[in-house]
Amino acid sequence: MLELGYITHSVDVIFQWQNIILMAVGVSLGIVVGALPGLTATMAVAVMLPFTFKMPADSGMLFLLGVYAGGIYGGSISAILVGVPGTPASAATVLDGYPLARQGKAYEALSMALWASVIGGVISGSILLVVAPVIAAFALRFGPPETFALAVFGLTACVAGVASKNLVKGLMVAALGLVVSTIGLDPLEALPRFTFGIDALTAGIPLVPVLIGLFAIGEILQQVQQELYISVEAVKRSRFDLKLLLNHAKTLIKSSLIGTGIGAVPGTGAAIASFLSYTEARRSSKHPERFGTGELDGVAASESGNNAVCGGALIPLMTLGIPGDSVTAVLLGALMIQGLTPGPLLFERHGEYVYVVMIGFLVVNVVMLLLGRYFIRVFSLAVAVPRYYLLPAIGVFSIVGAYAVNNSLFDVLLMLIFGVIGYILPTLGFSVTPLLLALILGPMAEASLRRSLILSGGSWVILVQRPIALAFLLLSVVVALFTWLQSRKLPKEISGDGREEI
Report which of 160, 101, 99 is spatially closest to residue 500, judged by C-alpha positions: 99
Question: DSSP class of residue 169?
Answer: H
Which helix (H) or strand (E) segment is 193 a member of?
Answer: strand 192-193
Whole-number Å distance between alpha carbons of 283 and 285: 6
Whole-number Å distance between alpha carbons of 214 and 173: 13
- Rg of the Cα atoms in the chain: 22
Task: Give the C-alpha distances (Å, rounded to integers) separating 462 from 141, 242, 470.
Answer: 14, 48, 9
Whole-number Å distance between alpha carbons of 413 and 422: 14
Helix 433-455 / helix 144-162 crossing angle, nearest 10 deg: 160
Report which of 369, 420, 411, 94 is spatially closest to residue 245, judged by C-alpha positions: 369
Give average pLDDT by consecutive 10-residue segment, the chain, 502 residues: 68 88 91 73 74 83 90 85 77 86 83 90 87 64 82 76 68 87 83 83 80 75 60 48 80 90 72 84 83 87 89 77 68 74 68 82 91 74 61 76 78 89 85 78 85 88 87 85 69 42 35
Whole-number Å distance between alpha carbons of 272 and 262: 8
pLDDT at 119: 92
Report which of 218, 215, 235 is spatially closest to residue 385, judged by C-alpha positions: 235
CB-neighbour burial class of residue 37 (10 A; exposed 0-12, middle 13-18, buried 19+): buried
Whole-model pTM: value is 0.69
- H helices of 285-408, in order, are 296-320, 326-337, 344-349, 351-380, 387-406
